[in-house]
Amino acid sequence: MTPAELLADAFTRIREGVERVVDGLDADQLAQRPADDANTVGWLVWHLSRVQDDHVADAAGLEQVWTSGGWHERLGLPFEAAETGYGHSAEQVAQVRGVDADQLLGYLDAVHQQTLAYVERLSPEDLDRVVDRHWDPPVTLGVRLVSVVNDDTQHLGQAAYARGLLG
pTM score, two decimals?
Answer: 0.96
* Residue 167: per-residue pLDDT: 76
Cβ–Cβ < 8 Å for 52, 110: no
Residue 87, burial from CB neighbour count under 10 angstroms (0-12, 13-18, 19+): exposed
* Residue 135: per-residue pLDDT: 94
pLDDT digits (tens, 9 = 90+) for 110-136: 999 999 999 999 999 999 999 999 999
Angle at 113 between CA 19 and CA 77, to 5 degrees: 65
Positions of the chain with pLDDT under 70: none
pLDDT digits (tens, 9 = 90+) for 31-48: 999 998 999 999 999 999
* Residue 99: per-residue pLDDT: 97
Residue 161, burial from CB neighbour count under 10 angstroms (0-12, 13-18, 19+): middle
Helices 141-165 and 3-22: crossing angle in degrees, nearest 10, is 20
Q: How far is CA 64 from the centre of its chain?
A: 12
Strand ranges, E, within the chain: 130-132, 139-140
Return all residues near 163 (Cβ < 8 A) that are at least 6 apart: 21, 22, 25, 41
Is the preceding peptide bond at 124 cis, omega within 30 degrees of 0?
A: no
